[in-house]
């Protein structure tokens, strides 16, 4: 079977998707990755997966890095509005080129990102079977739990659900550009979608999230085709990143990263250095491609500042992870049994941070409210209280027992009819 994959052209989505693609490839399937940004083609190819870019006229070289630099400096609602407007524009162009590229690559089925309303509609129109995979938090539009842009605690009372519904009412105008693109296409090609149903185009074969069941809020209301899996990652399925391993001094290691997108704040990295450095610990700080390391100087002699780090390998040696609460970094930390200090910035990060608190695997303060003193207190709290490490190790055990990569591959095969027995949900 030849399976096409498509997701946003950023590492936080590409790495889980290519890891699953490689695993299915090892099971004898052919896989091909549809890439809407030419800059991301080498990243996919480095994962040993065939990469096919969309039309160069629709996706010119340099657009995504430029947008990424703009996005990296944004915060809060501005960042959320920007990303949904950008997704809407990218979706419009992917729809325009989608039918051609699906025909050209000759796929039997598709694995698509749950946050994008584009190729699923084209596949529906063409009769190509597809499943949805969520690399970010799953978009819960039911009101039963807070939407992922909020860091609210879980509350199943009538008052809590009413709060969630009010929050959704504020979110809908922000995501409206994406809804409009999807509905315009559906009307144009005669798809029987209902504009008010946010799940109308979601796969009826399988909807898979890499969020582990044990890390999510209580949810018993998803349809039968919804499945929890677990982190989709492998060290050998990523672009090789050099790192000065010889500089590790054997002291307790704190790893800090603010991700690959919302990471353009010199202030944030300076604050991390000031709060996390100490004579009895060593800090590894990954600052992303949009920041010049010289802007953070001076740093303590034993602090290692890099633009990119081999995150999975560094986390194996860490005692604490300081993060923006991006889902991939959080799950990779928990898979290593490492507790967390989070400073959520935007997108689904507040929702991820809320789940860190819910599982007591760490603590958080929203980035716009945190100070150096606050961060230092959070670091000391997590390092001094063994509860956080214990809960992170408990989550590590759940992740290992579930084997999310194996489960996700089983679910994809079952959905497309190449597996006869049903894996456990």
Top-confidence residue, 233 or 154: 154
Is-same-fold flag (2-235+402-415; 242-400)? Answer: yes
Distance between CA atoms of 242 and 1, rounded to whole angstroms?
A: 36
pLDDT value, residue 243: 95
What does pLDDT average to over the chain?
89
Question: How would residue 76 be classed by pLDDT, with cut points 50, 70 and 90?
Answer: low
Q: Can you give the pTM of this predicted structure?
A: 0.90
Q: Are 6 and 115 in contact (CB under 8 A)?
A: no
Secondary structure, 3-state, 146-207: CCCCCCCCCCCCHHHHHHHHHHHHHHHHHHHHHHHHHHHHHHHHCCCCCCCCCCCCCCCCCE
Distance between CA atoms of 260 and 304, rounded to whole angstroms?
A: 18
Question: How would residue 291 be classed by pLDDT, with cut points 50, 70 and 90?
Answer: confident
159: number of Cβ within 10 Å: 9
Burial class (CB in 10 A: 0-12, 13-18, 19+), 258: buried
Top-confidence residue, 58 or 130: 130
pLDDT value, residue 262: 52
Q: Where are the domains of the chain?
A: 2-235+402-415, 242-400
pLDDT value, residue 107: 95
Q: Are 165 and 150 in contact (CB under 8 A)?
A: no
Question: How would residue 200 be classed by pLDDT, with cut points 50, 70 and 90?
Answer: confident
Return the CATH number of 2-235+402-415, one of 3.40.50.2000, 3.40.1080.20, 1.10.3720.10, 3.40.50.970.
Answer: 3.40.50.2000
Please state which CATH class domain 242-400 belongs to.
alpha beta
Fill in the DSSP letter of residue 217: P
pLDDT value, residue 347: 82
Question: Is pLDDT at 203 greater than 60 in this prediction?
Answer: yes
pLDDT tens digits for range 307-363: 999 999 999 999 999 999 999 999 999 999 999 999 998 889 999 999 999 999 999
What is the average pLDDT across 214-230?
93
Fill in the DSSP letter of residue 38: G
184: number of Cβ within 10 Å: 11
């Amino acid at each position: 079977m030849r399976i096409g994959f498509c997701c946003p052209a950023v590492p936080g989505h590409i790495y889980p998707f290519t890891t699953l693609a490689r695993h299915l490839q090892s099971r004898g399937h052919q896989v091909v990755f549809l890439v809407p940004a030419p800059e991301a083609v080498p990243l996919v190819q480095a994962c040993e997966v065939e990469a096919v870019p969309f039309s160069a006229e629709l996706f010119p070289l340099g657009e995504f890095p430029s947008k990424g630099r703009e996005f990296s400096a944004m915060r809060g609602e501005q960042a959320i509005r920007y990303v949904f407007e950008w997704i809407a524009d990218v979706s419009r162009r992917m729809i325009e080129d989608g039918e051609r590229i699906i025909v050209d690559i000759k796929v039997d089925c598709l694995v698509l990102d749950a946050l994008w309303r584009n190729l699923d509609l084209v596949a529906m129109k063409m009769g190509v079977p597809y499943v949805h995979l969520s690399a970010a938090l799953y978009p819960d539009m039911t009101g039963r739990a807070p939407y992922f842009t909020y860091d609210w605690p879980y509350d199943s009372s009538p008052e809590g659900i009413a709060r969630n519904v009010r929050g959704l009412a504020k979110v809908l105008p922000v995501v409206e550009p994406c809804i409009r693109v999807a509905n315009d296409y559906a009307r144009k090609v005669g798809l029987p979608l209902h504009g008010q149903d946010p799940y109308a185009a979601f796969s009826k074969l399988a909807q898979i999230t890499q969020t582990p069941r044990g890390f999510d809020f209580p949810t018993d209301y998803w349809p039968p085709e919804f499945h929890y899996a677990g982190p989709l990652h492998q060290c050998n399925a990523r672009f090789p990143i050099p790192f000065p391993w010889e500089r590790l001094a054997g002291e307790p290691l704190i790893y800090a990263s603010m991700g690959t997108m919302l990471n353009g704040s010199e202030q944030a990295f300076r604050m991390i250095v000031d709060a996390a450095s100490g004579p009895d610990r060593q800090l590894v700080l990954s600052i992303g491609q949009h920041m010049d390391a010289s802007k953070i100087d001076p740093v303590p002699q034993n602090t290692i500042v890099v633009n990119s780090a081999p995150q999975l390998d560094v986390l194996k040696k860490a005692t604490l992870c300081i993060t923006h609460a991006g889902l991939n970094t959080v799950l990779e930390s928990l898979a290593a049994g490492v507790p967390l200090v989070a400073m959520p910035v935007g997108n689904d990060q507040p929702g991820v941070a809320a789940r860190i608190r819910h599982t007591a695997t760490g603590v958080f303060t929203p980035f716009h409210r945190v100070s150096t003193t606050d961060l230092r207190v959070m670091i000391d709290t997590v390092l001094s209280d063994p509860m956080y490490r214990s809960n992170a190790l408990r989550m590590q055990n759940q992740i290992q027992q579930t084997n999310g990569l194996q489960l996700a591959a089983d679910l994809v095969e079952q959905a497309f009819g190449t597996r006869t027995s049903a894996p456990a949900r």
